């Protein structure tokens, strides 16, 4: 089964997100982006190999931006029945000489793998500083979906990335 990474591509910083998503596709992940309809119209030409999923509601009233609710990501994975669920920030590159889908498939059985990005000056030199203000990638077993109560966390806003690993604990 091809592993899916769900993200929410932003309508700015397109070039870096294209490079990041290309790094996922190089590893043969399927990529899905959850966005509001207006953003999908803006983005689909720049990301032809990404499957876009339109969300029905967003957090514009609260944050003045169309942030996607974390619950929409969980609902997407429930609908699709993916065994392994992946959520990655759209500007994070996944670079490895290992087969990452196989790694996550074996390590995530009934659990969760998550981590922070390493901020680097250039992709040619992968030495850098670990980002300590949150987490940027998550791969977890579909069985964990039933543990999450409904919440109002939004991708692109604080706390959802701390909450996600705490709930299964």
pTM: 0.95
Show the tokens assigned to 3.
């592993």
Q: How far apart are CA 32 and CA 51, in angstroms?
A: 5
The pLDDT of residue 12 is 96
pLDDT in tens, 77-92: 999 999 999 999 999 9
Whole-Å CA distances, 153 to 29, 68, 91: 25, 9, 19
Summarised one tens digit per residue, pLDDT across range 114-136 is: 999 988 887 777 788 888 889 99
Contact (Cβ atoms closer than 8 angstroms) between residue 145 and residue 76:
no
Bridge-based pairing of strands 30-35 and 112-115 is unpaired
pLDDT beneath 70, residues of the chain: none
| 33 phi-psi bin (left φ>0, alpha ψ -120 to 50, beta other) | beta
Nearest partner of 22 among 116, 102, 123, 114, judged by Cα: 123
């Amino acid at each position: 089964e091809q592993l899916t990474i769900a993200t929410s591509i932003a309508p700015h910083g397109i070039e870096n997100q294209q490079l990041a998503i290309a790094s996922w596709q190089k590893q043969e992940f399927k990529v899905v982006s959850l966005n509001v309809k207006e953003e999908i119209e803006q983005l689909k030409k720049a990301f032809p190999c990404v499957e876009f999923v339109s969300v029905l509601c967003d957090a514009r009233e609260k944050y003045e931006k169309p942030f996607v609710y974390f619950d929409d990501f969980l609902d997407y994975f429930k609908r699709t029945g993916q065994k392994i669920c992946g959520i990655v920030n759209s500007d994070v590159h996944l670079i490895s000489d290992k087969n990452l889908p196989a790694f996550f498939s074996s390590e995530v059985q009934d659990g969760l793998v998550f981590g922070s990005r390493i901020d680097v000056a250039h992709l040619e030199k992968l030495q850098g500083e670990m980002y300590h203000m949150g987490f940027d990638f998550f791969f977890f077993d579909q069985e964990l979906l039933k543990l999450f109560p409904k919440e109002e966390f939004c991708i692109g806003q604080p706390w959802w990335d701390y909450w996600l690993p705490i709930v299964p604990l």
